[in-house]
Chains A and B, each alone.
Chain A
Amino acid sequence: MNKPHEAAPSLLEIKDLRVEFATRQGVATAINGVNLSLQRGRSLGILGESGSGKSVTARTIMGLLDTPPARVTHGQILLNGEDLLAVNAKRRRSLNGASVAMVFQDALSALNPVHPVGRQIGELYRVHRGYSRAAAKRAAIEMMDRVRIPAAAKRVNDYPHQFSGGMRQRIVIAMALALDPELLIADEPTTALDVTVQAQILELLKEQQSENNMGLILITHDISVVREVTDEVAVMYAGRIIERGPTAELLAHPAHPYTRGLAASIASEELKGQQLPAIPGSPPDLLRLPQGCSFAARCPLADQACTATIPVLQPVALQRDTACFKSEEVLVHA
């Protein structure tokens, strides 16, 4: 029913993923049944606020969760059909970087401060492909050129602190792209950057994604960044995907009250001098998730059904799913 275009096998398929964190106060459910799929050459935005589970999803795919306190209690993450949660550590290491790579938010802490950047990029070639020192350095310079670091050959021996924030993020992207991964995960890649530099980095990510026919997962809290870069979007709230579909269409006509509220609370020009239509309240405590829909307490449309049972993702339009009992109503008024 939900797969009319079965032909292309998915690059990434996440099935019913659940992740918990043991905290002193109890067990926090960070991810609560996430299903996702991404085709090669497509880009997916994961949109959510802090605590929505978007970064935990990324870290789980990369195998970077600290376990404990985290624990994957259920689910599968299939990369080209291979379950990343079931592979052994050695296989995992060979996949990371080569098949799936990640760009982190904070470039300065993603780089090793005591090694020249060229050596850090080159290390990928040395470890994964057994290049010689000289060949790895040549490859590193080539990568630095590809992400448009000026005078790459001269700067290959510089240390991270000698680069500006934008250039550092380019180096992190160069490392991520070094082994031509099939899937690139970018976790808030531009949040720490200035807006003029953000524009450059988003442009670079888009261009590299389409040139190399990669799958791209872009994790962000910023609607406008998702709209700018991705083909599809999944909106997360309190550990669940509450809405997904083609980016432009979904953001223009949200079918979930949370997405609608987020889109409406943006300070657009027409709202100058007026109160912003804010979503009341704040996200739920992950230690004590409500019995029904996690958004019900803040939702203007919530009724008894919403507080009693959790709505599941259901098709609401072509290629679009929403987890809301009131989605029809929301769509009509959007």
Chain B
Amino acid sequence: MLNTQLEQQPKDSVQGPLMEIRGVKMHYPVARAMPFGPRKTVKALDGVDLEIRQGETLGIIGESGCGKSTLARVLSGLEKPTEGQVLFEGQDINTLHGAERAQMRRNIQLIFQDPYASLNPRMTIEQILMEPFEIHPDAVPRSGRRAKIAELMALVGLNPDHLERYPHNFSGGQQQRIGIARGIALNPKVLICDEAVSALDVSVRAQVVNLLASLQQELGLSYVFIAHDLQIVRHISDTVAAMYLGRVIETGTYDQVYDRSAHPYTQALLSAAPELRQEPGKSRQLIMLQGDPPSPIDPPSGCRFHTRCPVARPSCATAEPGLDPVGEGHAARCFFPGPIGPTNN
């Protein structure tokens, strides 16, 4: 345990983050329920700070509605946050225009959840993979593009002879490989994987996870890996951020977040996953949370988790805790961080 921390420290000090978001808020207006009813907003992200380091993977865990997918959209520049900055190599991506913006787009690519829906059914694989080069003509000279596409196919483990085929000719796992090939076509620095393996069958999922891991080693990519599969996130991530209702509630290295979770929500989330509870040598006790996550339209006062928290005290309903350090590189947004025992409700 100590060793891993010591090993990681030099890495931190040598390299600043490749990408960083600061105080990002993403609020969406909601249609009023009544003509003169109150104007409401969904606070999908409500003050998020995160760092993505060169060649590393940041895993994001949390339940639906916590803001994971909004985060993917904001990081990739598909949405401009209501407030806050998204910095790529020190530059705010939302202030870039023209050629600079195009360059930023090349560097940050997305892999989507549903591989079939993200590929145009009327285009051949060759056309799909050619498209990034048509949009960014200076990336690869025209004469070299066919060779580059064949290389991409081989890189993601597909047969380059199948370029003339259409997406429906491929299985789900192969379609996701095509999506990945398109994602890495322009040699990006950051790949944002939003539930990229969730739609795949169990036996195929491991193949795609392996592919992502080996591409990272070969190409030095940084990943933001968003998934609800907690075991896969642990497997692939260097650092992990747990989110709840638009806030990051815990960050740290994967083993800090998984093995020494400080926030009661992280502990409850991890304990709810049967696959983690069943791991040999671990004595995770199920911490049963009551009810569902509250709506991000009217998040609870004070600590947003206090309505479901097994260790909440009255003060948690009034003041909101900050994301405070609980260890080296490990922070939690809780007034009473630390392990909680199993509860009987």
**A→B interface (CB under 8 Å):** 49-50, 164-167, 194-200, 202-203, 221-225, 227-228, 258, 261-262, 265-269, 271-272, 275-280, 282-283, 298
Contact = CB atoms under 8 A, between A and B. Distances in A.
Contacts of A222: 202, 274-275
B323 to A, nearest CB: 21
15 contacts: A164-B291, A164-B292, A194-B292, A196-B268, A203-B288, A222-B275, A227-B274, A262-B203, A267-B236, A269-B282, A272-B235, A276-B210, A277-B206, A279-B207, A282-B204
Interface of B: 63-64, 171-174, 201-207, 209-210, 213-214, 228, 230-232, 234-236, 254, 268-269, 272-275, 278-279, 282, 286, 288-289, 291-293
B203 A279 contact: yes
A246 to B, nearest CB: 16
A306 B24 CA distance: 57
Q: Which of A49, A164, A267, A298 has the most CB of B within 10 A?
A: A267
Q: Which of A165, A166, A271, A278 has the most CB of B within 10 A?
A: A278
B203 A266 contact: no
A278 B206 contact: yes
Q: Is the interface of B mostly helix, strand, loop or mixed?
A: helix
Contacts, number: 112
Contacts of B63: 194-197
Nearest to B61: A195
Contacts of B209: 267, 276, 278
B171 A282 contact: yes
A260 B50 CA distance: 39
The 9 closest A-B CB pairs, nearest first, are: A278-B206, A267-B235, A224-B275, A265-B206, A194-B63, A224-B274, A276-B206, A164-B292, A49-B201
Contacts of A199: 272, 274, 286, 288-289
Nearest to A194: B63
A142 to B, nearest CB: 21
A282 B205 CA distance: 10
Contacts of A227: 274, 278
Given A196-B269, A196-B272, A198-B272, A228 B203 contact: no
Contacts of B288: 199-200, 203
Given A199-B289, A282-B201, 6 more contacts: A195-B272, A224-B278, A272-B254, A278-B210, A279-B207, A282-B174
B15 to A, nearest CB: 20
A277 to B, nearest CB: 7
Nearest to A50: B201
Contacts of B172: 282
A165 B64 CA distance: 10
